[in-house]
C-alpha cells in the first residue's frame, strides 16, 4: 500500500451559499449552511486516504467540540491519528467560507491550534517519515512546522510535495529540498515574479521556479489545465477534465492529495497528474471540502469514462 505522511492544518469549515459575495459592509442573506472538516492539510490527507493510501496525519487541535469532532473524522477515514496533538490553550481552527451562485468563493481562516505546530511536534513523527513513500505539506500552518517537515523529508530521502498555499514569504533555500511544487496561477506568480495567465507565462514562471532548485514544477491553471515543467524542453500543458462545478473551494487540495497518492503508489508523473486532475474534477461537483473528496472507485470509474478535455473545474 502507498504510504503518505501529511503535516498540515485542520479547520472546521463553516460554509454558506449566497447569491453573490458580499461587498465591504454588505450583509447578504444566504443558505443553506454547511459545517464540516476542512483546512488544506485535512483536505489533502482525505484526498490521499480516499484514493487508497495509508495516511499518517499530523496536526494540532483544540480540546473543544470541533477538536473532538475532528479526531473522530480522521479515525472514520482510516488515517493514523497517533501524532495529532490537542492543545488545551488554543481553539480548533475555523474557516468561514462564502460560495456564490457562480461557484466563486471568499474565505477567512482562523488557524487556532494548527497555526502553533512546533518543530518538536513534527519531530515526533520522524519514525513515520522513514517508512513513507511521499511527504506532503502546505503553507497553512506555522513556518516552523513547514521547515521541519521539509528537513525531515530530505534527511530520510522521502520525496516531498510542497503546496505553497496560501502563499507567504518563506526561506527560498528550502526549495532545493522540495521534489514537487503545486502552486496555482496566483501562487506561481508570487513565487516567480511573473504573472501567470496562459501557457506562455506559465512556462516562463516555471522556468524561473525551476532555477530555484525544484526539479518538478506543476502549476494548476483552472480550466486551462496543469502546466508541467521538469527542465526539459518547454514543458507541457496537460488538459483538465470537463465537469459542472458547484463548489471549487477544495479543488487545489484535491489535486495535491490525489497527486501524492498516485506518486506514492509508484505511478509516473504525467499519469499521476491525470489522476489528480480527476480527483479535483470530482471534488468540485459537490459542496464542501474534505467531505467532497472522491473515493478511489469513483476516480477510477471517472477516468475510464472521461477524456482529457478543457474544464472549469479548479485551480
pLDDT in tens, 234-290: 899 999 998 998 888 899 999 999 999 999 999 999 999 999 999 999 999 998 889
How many of the other CB atoms lie within 10 Å of CB of 297? 10
| Domain range summary for the chain, segments of one domain joined by + | 3-20+33-305
Residue 185 contacts residue 218 (beta carbons within 8 Å): no
Out of 133, 169, 253, 312, the active site residue is 253
3-state SS class at 21: coil
Instruction: Report the candidate in 187, 289, 253, 272 with the shortest Cα–Cα distance to residue 41.
Output: 253
For residue 123 the three cell numbers come to: 519531530
The residues facing 80 across adjacent strands are: 56
Could you give the CA distance from residue 302 to residue 295 in angstroms, rounded to a whole number? Answer: 11
Q: Is 253 a catalytic residue?
A: yes
How much is the mean pLDDT over the chain?
94
42 is in an annotated binding site: yes
Instruction: Report the candidate in 103, 109, 106 with the shortest Cα–Cα distance to residue 23.
Output: 106
Query: What's this model's pTM, rounded to 2 decimal places?
Result: 0.92
221 is in an annotated binding site: yes
36 is in an annotated binding site: no
How many of the other CB atoms lie within 10 Å of CB of 19? 10
DSSP H helical ranges for the chain: 40-51, 65-76, 119-123, 126-130, 143-155, 185-192, 199-210, 251-264, 269-283, 296-305
Low-confidence ranges of the chain (pLDDT < 70): 307-315
CATH number of the domain located at residue range(s) 3-20+33-305 in this protein: 3.40.1190.20
Write the pLDDT tens digit of every residue in 27-58: 999 989 989 999 999 999 999 999 999 999 99
Amino acid at each position: 500500500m502507498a504510504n503518505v505522511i501529511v503535516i498540515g492544518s485542520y479547520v472546521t469549515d463553516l460554509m454558506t451559499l449566497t447569491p453573490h459575495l458580499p461587498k465591504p459592509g454588505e450583509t447578504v442573506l444566504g443558505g443553506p449552511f454547511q459545517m464540516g472538516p476542512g483546512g488544506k492539510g485535512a483536505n489533502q490527507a482525505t484526498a490521499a486516504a480516499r484514493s487508497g493510501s495509508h495516511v499518517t496525519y499530523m496536526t494540532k487541535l483544540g480540546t473543544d467540540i470541533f477538536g473532538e469532532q475532528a479526531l473522530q473524522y480522521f479515525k472514520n477515514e482510516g488515517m493514523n491519528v497517533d501524532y495529532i496533538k490537542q492543545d488545551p490553550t488554543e481553539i480548533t481552527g475555523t474557516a468561514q467560507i462564502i460560495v456564490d451562485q457562480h461557484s466563486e468563493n471568499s474565505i477567512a481562516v482562523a488557524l487556532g491550534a494548527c497555526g502553533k505546530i512546533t518543530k518538536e511536534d513534527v519531530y515526533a513523527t520522524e519514525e513515520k517519515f522513514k517508512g513513507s513513500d511521499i511527504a506532503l505539506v502546505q503553507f497553512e500552518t506555522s513556518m516552523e512546522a513547514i521547515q521541519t517537515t521539509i528537513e525531515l523529508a530530505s534527511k530520510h530521502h522521502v520525496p516531498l510535495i510542497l503546496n505553497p498555499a496560501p502563499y507567504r514569504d518563506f526561506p527560498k533555500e528550502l526549495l532545493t529540498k522540495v521534489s514537487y511544487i503545486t502552486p496555482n496561477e496566483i501562487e506561481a506568480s508570487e513565487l516567480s515574479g511573473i504573472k501567470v495567465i496562459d501557457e506562455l507565462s506559465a512556462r516562463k514562471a516555471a522556468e524561473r521556479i525551476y532555477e530555484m532548485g525544484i526539479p518538478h514544477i506543476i502549476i494548476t491553471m483552472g480550466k486551462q489545465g496543469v502546466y508541467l515543467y521538469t527542465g526539459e524542453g518547454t514543458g507541457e500543458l496537460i488538459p483538465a477534465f470537463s465537469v459542472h462545478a458547484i463548489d471549487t473551494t477544495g479543488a487545489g487540495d484535491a489535486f495535491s492529495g490525489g497527486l501524492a497518492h498516485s506518486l506514492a503508489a509508484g505511478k509516473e508523473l504525467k499519469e499521476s497528474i491525470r489522476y489528480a486532475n480527476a480527483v479535483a474534477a470530482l471534488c468540485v461537483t459537490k459542496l464542501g471540502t474534505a467531505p467532497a473528496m472522491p473515493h478511489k472507485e469513483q476516480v477510477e470509474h471517472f477516468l475510464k469514462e472521461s477524456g482529457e478535455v478543457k474544464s472549469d473545474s479548479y485551480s
